[in-house]
Structure 1
Amino acid sequence: MVHNPAWSASILILGDSLSAAYGIPEQQGWVAKLQQQLPQHQIINGSVSGETSAGGLRRLPALLDSATPDILLVELGGNDGLRGFSPAALKSNLTKIIELGQANGALVLLTEMMVPPNYGRRYSRQFNGVYHDLSEQFAIPLIPFFMTEIAIDSSLMQRDGIHPNATAQPKITQWMEPWISSALEQIE
């Protein structure tokens, strides 16, 4: 496929601290690094540390109005899980986020999220199942959880054991970039 160098897409990242570069300078975060790799496209980081799926849903209409994204990448739910919110509430919020994105003409990508194993196998399975169910229901790409290999490597994590450090950010960018590029090819 021959790419049109003049073509520019708008990509909105709706996420939590994992995408908001929590604890490190914003320009070292994976979203800023992705922007460096895809300079012809506009990447809007609509991520907020501590954000839940309900908070993301509340903020999304204004973000869609201001950004009019071609692609909406949803990286939410981690804080819902850490707070023990019900998988049903998570599914309801993510469903509305996906529907809102699609109604505004965006190609929606969903990032799988997982909760720590100490939350119990049943909750973990129900929580993670929400992402797989929605990916199937809406026939949208499900990006595998990008923290799986990072979270087990203490050299890539901040002291809190929850957030990736600056060293981990290029790895996250490397993980996300093919998914974004594939989405860009679909809408070009």
Structure 2
Amino acid sequence: MSFAGMALALLYVSGVIGSPSVYSNQSVATGKGGVADEGRAGVHIMAFGDSLTAGYGLENSHSFPVVLERRLRELGYAVRVTNAGVSGDTSAGGAARISWALADRPDILILELGANDALQGLSPKHTRENLEAVIRTCQAQGVKVLLAGMQAPRNLGQEYAAAFDALYPELAKAFDLVFYPFFLEGVAFDATLNLPDGMHPNPAGVERVVQGMLPFVLGMLE
């Protein structure tokens, strides 16, 4: 656990350095999966997060949302996965833009935020409140949420790390969310799965992230 937290310390720096940007892929697949609303083919999944979601340092074709959509389509699911990632975003930024993002009417939202909060040493209480606002807004509009957990860098102290790490499973339990405990599981600190900066997953790392999260997403599509 401490290794993961240390890896996140590096990751958070990357989010702050990365210039804000939003990417979007709007392809629609056919196959399995339901029709979310009449007139819209397939299920719309929105990946909502920071540089990890945005695909910092990667061609768009290797970003998390695009790879996830490709894997789901290969399995025959009718989906489109849009990229609502903003490099450098914090939980407060996410809370500020969630209503605008939901105008695109996703059926499922993958929530990946909080890394940059920890880098800045922001209060876990405020991170919790911001993520809760995002979750409440989604649920009020009937959008299902998959919460991806984060971990605090251990150099911020045991008390901070404990409070930060705990807020994700606690939110998942409180709001009955599908919960993926750590977005970078199996990728953090593995040089073969990260870009030369040691902070962001490379294409192979993104594939590993998608592989780990895929069963959780599939469960929401059944």
Same fold at TM > 0.5 = yes
TM-fit CA distance, 1:6: 6.2
Matched, 1:32 2:70: no
Aligned length: 182
> Closer, same or farther in 2 for the Cα pair 1:106/1:160, shift >3 Å?
same
Q: Which residue of 2 aligns with 1:19?
A: 53
Misfit runs of 4+, over 6 Å:
none
Task: Name the Cα RMSD after superposition.
Answer: 1.5
SS of residue matched to 1:148: coil
Q: Which residue of 2 aligns with 1:109?
A: 146
Q: Which residue of 1 aligns with 2:202?
A: 165
What letter matches 2:45 in structure 1? I
Matched, 1:9 2:47: no
SS of residue matched to 1:19: helix
Matches within 5 A, 1:72-151: 72-151=109-188
> Closer, same or farther in 2 for the Cα pair 1:88/1:5, shift >3 Å?
closer
**TM-score of the superposed pair, with normalisation by structure 1:** 0.91
SS of residue matched to 1:181: helix
Equivalent of 1:43 in 69, 81, 85: 81
**Identity fraction in percent:** 37
> Closer, same or farther in 2 for the Cα pair 1:5/1:166, shift >3 Å?
closer
Matched, 1:61 2:99: yes
Separation (CA, whole Å) in 2 of partners of 1:32 and 1:161 = 22
**TM-score of the superposed pair, with normalisation by structure 2:** 0.78
TM-fit CA distance, 1:4: 4.9
Provide, for residues 109-139 of structure 1, a one-character-per-residue CA deviation record: whole Å limited to 9, x for no partner.
1100112222222111100111011011111
What letter matches 1:99 in structure 2? R
Separation (CA, whole Å) in 2 of partners of 1:131 and 1:110 = 8
TM-fit CA distance, 1:176: 1.6
